[in-house]
Amino acid sequence: MSNGHAIRGTRIGANPGLHSERGEPVPRQNVSYWCANGHETVRSFALYVEVPSEWDCTRCGWPASPDQANPPDRRTVKPYKTHLTYVRERRSEEEAEDLLAEALASLAAKRGERS
């Protein structure tokens, strides 16, 4: 089926001489981070940037540091609280009933109803 007019393509980056067109790649350094569970996370940074002192572990999510012998401690995770939980912490049941009664009376007054 080939008649000599086949279109041939190449992959991007397949040509070894592309550095002259795109410029040289930035020099990089690999930094290993270790979490309290002993997981290693390797990240690549440019040589001229300041390397972060902590990075989140990609396996467990705990904080990790470059010092394998002294990884950072696990942070305490606060449980999720709903808006209603925060309101109940600020108000007593009596205060809540008083506010509800005031709000219902205000609505009734707007509608022209008598209580």
Residues 40-52 have pLDDT tens digits of: 999 999 999 999 9
Alpha-helical regions (H) of the chain: 19-22, 83-90, 93-111
CATH number of the domain where residue 47 is located? 2.20.28.270
Is 96 part of any domain?
A: yes
pTM, whole model, 2 decimals? 0.51
Give residue 20's region: left, alpha or beta (phi > 0; psi -120 to 50). alpha
d(CA 103, CA 99): 6
88 & 57 share domain: no
Pairing of strands 28-35, 55-56: unpaired
Q: pLDDT under 70 in the chain at which residues?
A: 1-21, 114-115
Residue 98 belongs to what domain range? 78-115
93-109 pLDDT, tens digit per residue, is 899 899 999 999 999 99
Answer whether residue 2 is part of any domain.
no
Domain count for the chain, please give it.
2
